[in-house]
Chain A
């Protein structure tokens, strides 16, 4: 049942859902949300959990897809108190556990940052593993969790965040605009001999490109985990 909704960007909203008997979850896991229309038509979509569970309340961040069947409804029309069918927690591969030693490199494009934000939030107070997040966005207005990430960089020791802008960069950003390049990961990621665990999430094309850059740089394939959400 929807408890609360707040906007993250013009196109993304975070939904807080209350799920009876929620068993808790790992950072990186997702839920399947099933909507059923009056005529019985059903649509199921997967959404990453954005934060550690708060009792029986969980958060997902939904990026509205123009013309989409499910995301505009969830992002705009679902009302407080409305019920949706939620199954989870799901997945056991694209997860980070606070007891995992060693540095972590998070690489995301767009709303691919959602499961990685769950890892950043789960780390706070639970792990001292150094984290670096490289987030590719179109413009400064598309930085999902931008304000919280800037606050956490100041408060959470050992967390670094870099935004890569593909369309429009802030005036003070000397990199300018353009898709993620190997030099970006060399400058803002970890060298392979630090043996970081790398998590890459975003649209399929981005994930393939970023994972290929990490492998070409010498990262062990066993420590590069990926999640693709279409696009």
Chain B
């Protein structure tokens, strides 16, 4: 997507602080358009003020990750489902 600086590969470290599984290989379904994307292939903007991952299809936001001095905020409202390979 034009303008994105990174992709979901960059989320591996920050998400490893939150999840036990390797989330970048998971499939995420966009709550906006229904497109299924591998998390590693989401369009990622950041890292400041936080990481924002958008759908490569419709550019809706699937995930926001913001760190404050005493907390990590994870907003997944744009993700309808995460499918993790087992």
Interface residues of A, Cβ cutoff 8 Å to B: 30, 32, 44, 46, 87-88, 90-94, 204, 208, 225-231
Contacts and interface: CB of A to CB of B under 8 A. Distances in A.
10 contacts: A44-B13, A90-B12, A91-B24, A93-B25, A93-B40, A208-B2, A225-B40, A227-B40, A228-B4, A228-B5
Contact of B13 (A32, A208, A225, A228): A32
B7 to A, nearest CB: 5
B6 A94 contact: no
A158 B7 CA distance: 31
Contacts of A30: 9, 12
A92 B12 contact: yes
B45 to A, nearest CB: 10
- List the 5 closest pairs (A to B, CB-CB), nearest first: A93-B40, A32-B13, A90-B12, A91-B12, A92-B22
Q: Interface extent on B, as a size class? A: 10 to 19
Tell me the interface secondary structure of chain A in the complex: strand
A204 B8 CA distance: 12
Contacts of B8: 93
Contact of B9 (A93, A204, A208, A231): A93
Nearest to B16: A90
A225 to B, nearest CB: 8
B31 interface: no
B47 interface: yes
A88 B41 CA distance: 20
Nearest to A46: B10
Interface string B43-81: 000010000000000000000000000000000000000
A225 B7 CA distance: 11
Contact of A92 (B2, B5, B7, B24): B24
Contacts of A208: 2
